[in-house]
Every structure is written in C-alpha cells, then in structure tokens.
Structure 1
Amino acid sequence: MRRIADSGYSTLLMPDVPQWQPAPGPTLAVAATFADLRVGTWVYASPLRPAWSTAWEAHSLSVLTDGRFEMGIGTGRPGIENELRELGMPVLPPSERLAPVRETVAVLRDLDGPGLHTPVVMAVRGPKAQALAADLADTVTFALMPGDDRAEITRLVRDFRAIRDVELAQHVAVIGDTVAPFMASPDTDPAALRAADSLAVLPDDPAAAAEEIQRRREEIGFSYFVFGADFADVLAPVVAELAGH
C-alpha cells in the first residue's frame, strides 16, 4: 500500500466479486490505515446485496477513513446473472436493475447527513443509466465494449457532458500487450483493440502512455484513470510525470 502511495497514485480501488479477493469493505478499511490513500469500490455490484446494506457499509467506510472513501456502484458486470443463480439470489430483468442503485444512493445520502458527502462513482452505458448518473453521480465511467473506438466513446462523453459536467473516469484494462487480471475478459485481444483505436488500451512505454493520457484529458475530458495493480510499477513514471497537471 505504501509503495503505491509513494509512487503518486491517489486511490486504491477494489472490485466486488465474491471469491476473487477478501470482501471490499473490511479490506479497504484496513488499507486506508497503512497509507494516506483514498480508497473505493470499482464497483459495488448492486444485485449482490440489499441497498441498505451497501449504503451502510459505504457510509461506515467514509467515517472510518475520515472521508477518503468513494462508492463506485453499478448493476454488475456481464455474466452476473449466472453468479446470482449460483448464490440463490434473484435475477432482476434489465428494466429493473437501476432502481436498487438509486435506492442505495438515497440511503447513503440519508446516512451521511449534512456533514458528510460520500462521493458516488457510477459505471454507465445506456441512456437510462446515464440519466441516473446525471442525477446522482460525482464521477462517471463509461463501460467499454470490445468494438468501441475513440470516436464512439468521445461522442458518448460529449453528449453526457451536455447534460451535466461531472468528473469522468476511464477503466484501462490493457497496457501494451498485457491484459490486467479481472479487468477484462481473458480472451481480450490487445492488437484488435489497438486496431480499433480503443480507449481500453495504453502503450507500455511510459512517455507514450503519458502523452496519450494527456491527449485523452484535453480532447475528451477524462481526469481519472483506473489501472490494474499489476501495472503499478510500470506506470509509476507516468504518474510522476503527470502529477499536478
């Protein structure tokens, strides 16, 4: 944790997938005691727990970390339906999956009260999710599909920012020819992503990566980039170069 903080990274994020790692709540609470980092979920899968439970945990993490926690939340990654069935949990139809997200944020705001504001990060794609994020989110990330090119995501981002100007985050799953574990499908083809000019990939050369990140900041508006932990050392020079920019 200290090594990541000393390299200039601002935030430690954890996914919300049972059996991948310890549960995010206790892990992030412990991590925040080791280094002066922000911590957060990337992202809570709302179908896995009741809204009040997620909100209570998020509020508690904000209190325990002195306001250094941010709640990332979404409706679950592709394939979560099979996981829910294995766990004996209900599978909501797509038209109903955003309601628990709204409810979670509403309960969180009640728990926070006037003296605390836990930042909410929402992963979105379709128009209904974008509309909800425009109402509730402090930071928004757009879920990338394998065939998405730069032009498509730029259009999505600009259309969204015409509704509300919020911080924009980007999930970068591939550095060079290496796919970050758990951040993309194992069959992800880095060469195909580069051919499509996908925003899901960055060069592994630090200077080229820094230049590309700066380009995405200036041309599209991304200011928050999420990388896999396995890339922390490789990208440390990039973080150092861009710090304060």
Structure 2
Amino acid sequence: MHPFRFGVTASRIPVGRAWTDLARRAEELGYDTFVMPDHLGRQLSPLGGLAAAAAVTSRIRIGAFVFANDYRHPLLLARETATLDQVSNGRVELGIGAGWNTSDYRQLGMPYERPGLRIERLEESVGLIRRLFAGERVTGSGRHYHLDGAWLEPRPVQARIPILIGGGGPRMLRIAARQADIVGLLTQFNRQGRPIAMQATEGETARKVAIVREAAGSREAFERLELNVLVASAGLVGSGSSPLRSVAAMVKAAAPLVVGGSPYLLHGTLAQVHETLLRRRERLGISYYVWSARAVEAMAPVVEALAGR
C-alpha cells in the first residue's frame, strides 16, 4: 500500500512573483507535487513555469499534469524533461497523455485524429522516452516516429523518472498499467468543468481499478503502481454543516448520493475527509490526490494529517 501523496495543479495563476510564491507556499504546506496542465491559452508554458518553480523550491516534486504527446516529438520531450530533472536535482515526474483539447489542435494547425491513432502514438512515444532516459542510443522507425542515433546528454538525475499516464477508457488504462509508474484514473467532465455524475461514482472508479489490476499482470506489478485522482472540487467545511449539501450545491448536475460517493469530489470536516481517504485507499488503492491551487490553503490540514502516512 502506497503512502498518501498530495499535489496542487496550477494554471491560470498570475505570472512572475505570484507564480513562484505559490510554488514556495505549496512546499511550505507539505504538498508533495506542484504540477500544471499543458494547454495553449491563459497559462504559463509548462517547461518554463516548472523550471521557475524548481528554482525557488528544494523538496516538492514538479511535473506537467499532463503533457499532450502530440505537441512534441518524444526526443524533444525526453530532452526537456531530463533538463528539468537536472535543474531540479531529481524532482521531476513526467505526466503524459494522448491529447484531447480540440482548441489546442486547432491553434497548432494539427489534425485532431481519431482516439485510436493518438493513443497509438502515445504508446510508441512512451516506449522511446523510457529508452532515452535509460541511456540508450536509439535508432529505428516505428509506425509514427523515426530516430537516428538519438541519445540524451546530460541524462536525468533520477535512475527512473516516474511516468504518469491518465486514462478513463479501457485501452488507455491498460497502457497505463503496463507502461506507467502512476496511473491517473480519469473521469469525464462537462463544459462547466464538473464531473459527469454517472462517470464519477466510486463504483465506476472501482471498475477502472479492476481493469488496471488485470492489465498489470500480477499482484506484485499492480501493487507497484501508484493510483491517482484529479479532484474536481475540494474543501473542508465546519462540523456544524452538512458536507453533502455543500457539495450538492456546487455540483448541481450530480445527485446527492453520487456526490457523496465520488472520488472526484472531496468535501467534509477534516475527520470526515480523513476517514474517506483511508477507506478509499483500502478499497480502491488510491493514494495520490491532486486538486486545484485554489484549495492549496483550505486543504492544507488534510496534507498535514495524511501526507507520507
């Protein structure tokens, strides 16, 4: 059973000192990771933003949550990640996904191809990145990428940079189980950023965990995987209020029963959240939670109570 880890994801944050202050504050509060998405628009570039965060911190781990594979050749992504690992003294985690944001593809002038093709490219890319991280000189052609004597120098500080792959469908979950160190259990969100009720239940999450367990191939391989959830809404409430009513008010699309049992919504008193996370780790194996930087202060008591335990 993995110890609990907690991270904050930051995107639409003011630039400059506000950005680096946030990274410092997350570290001061005991968070384990400081991550950011990879989209075009109102956010810093992840490579520059993460390098700046690394420069003002010393312990917290950094990474994209997640890099869109199609935007970068695997050799370039491996090189940039190795550089981040060097400047952070071995604190990088590589989150990578197949890409999904149609607006990004449109701005880049790239075709938004069928999911199967994007997933196929991702799987090939991760295999190449692993080989480059390991110090191989890579020559060869796959279906999507060709490398000719490609290698990394300097190599990453870490002997094995942890790779996170998120998935909601069976194919992505199976790839994550075979190739990742951390499996992100994704759900579907509506246009307002709220989880779609029937896709966000604990039962549906248990089904995804079962797919990962089977694809891992053995109990030992499954237990090596860290399971992650990106929390859509998180906050602590006073003991005199009803956490279920509070959450139901914020997520109107979800029925109260669904809201109360969703791993993607984390609200309650400190004692209630503490109990929920312990029970969910016991039942589902989920130990790594990431929520918005907007909740960095509010959820700090949870981090203090459970991180590393």
What is the TM-score when the length of structure 1 is the normalising length? 0.87
- Cα pair distance change 1:243/1:26, threshold 3 Å: same
The two structures, once aligned, show a CA RMSD in angstroms of 2.2
Cα distance in structure 1, aligned partners of 2:183 and 2:70: 19
The residue that corresponds to 2:96 in the other structure is 73
Once the two structures are overlaid, the 10-residue window that deviates more, 205-214 or 224-233, is 205-214
The residue that corresponds to 1:3 in the other structure is 25
The residue that corresponds to 1:195 in the other structure is 257
What is the CA-CA distance between 1:119 and the residue it aligns to?
Answer: 1.0
The residue that corresponds to 1:116 in the other structure is 159
- Cα pair distance change 1:193/1:205, threshold 3 Å: farther
Cα distance in structure 1, aligned partners of 2:81 and 2:255: 35
Equivalent residue runs for 1:157-168 within 5 Å = 157-164=209-216, 165=222, 166-168=225-227
**CA contact 2:184–2:229 (8 Å) conserved in 1:** yes
Aligned length: 234
Q: State the structure with bigger RCO (CA 8 A, min sep 6), 1 or 2.
A: 2
1:91 aligns with 2:153: no
- Cα pair distance change 1:176/1:31, threshold 3 Å: closer
- Cα pair distance change 1:82/1:193, threshold 3 Å: farther
The residue that corresponds to 1:221 in the other structure is 285
Unmatched segments (≥5 aa) in structure 2: 1-22, 136-157, 189-195, 217-221, 237-249
- Cα pair distance change 1:154/1:14, threshold 3 Å: same
Q: Which has the larger radius of gyration?
A: 2
**CA contact 2:170–2:211 (8 Å) conserved in 1:** no
The residue that corresponds to 1:49 in the other structure is 72
What is the CA-CA distance between 1:191 and the residue it aligns to?
Answer: 6.5
Unmatched segments (≥5 aa) in structure 1: 178-187
SS in 1 for 2:134: helix
Alpha-carbon displacement from aligned partner over 1:88-130 (angstroms, at most 9, x marks no partner) = 1122222201122123322322332257311110011222212
What is the CA-CA distance between 1:143 and the residue it aligns to?
Answer: 1.1
What is the TM-score when the length of structure 2 is the normalising length? 0.70
SS in 2 for 1:227: strand
SS in 1 for 2:47: helix
SS in 2 for 1:133: helix
4+ residue runs over 3 A deviation? none
Cα distance in structure 2, aligned partners of 1:109 and 1:15: 21
Alpha-carbon displacement from aligned partner over 1:19-75 (angstroms, at most 9, x marks no partner) = 231111121112112122100111111222333322222222222222210110112
1:144 aligns with 2:187: yes
**CA contact 1:84–1:91 (8 Å) conserved in 2:** yes
1:63 aligns with 2:86: yes
1:241 aligns with 2:305: yes
Once the two structures are overlaid, the 10-residue window that deviates more, 116-125 or 49-58, is 49-58
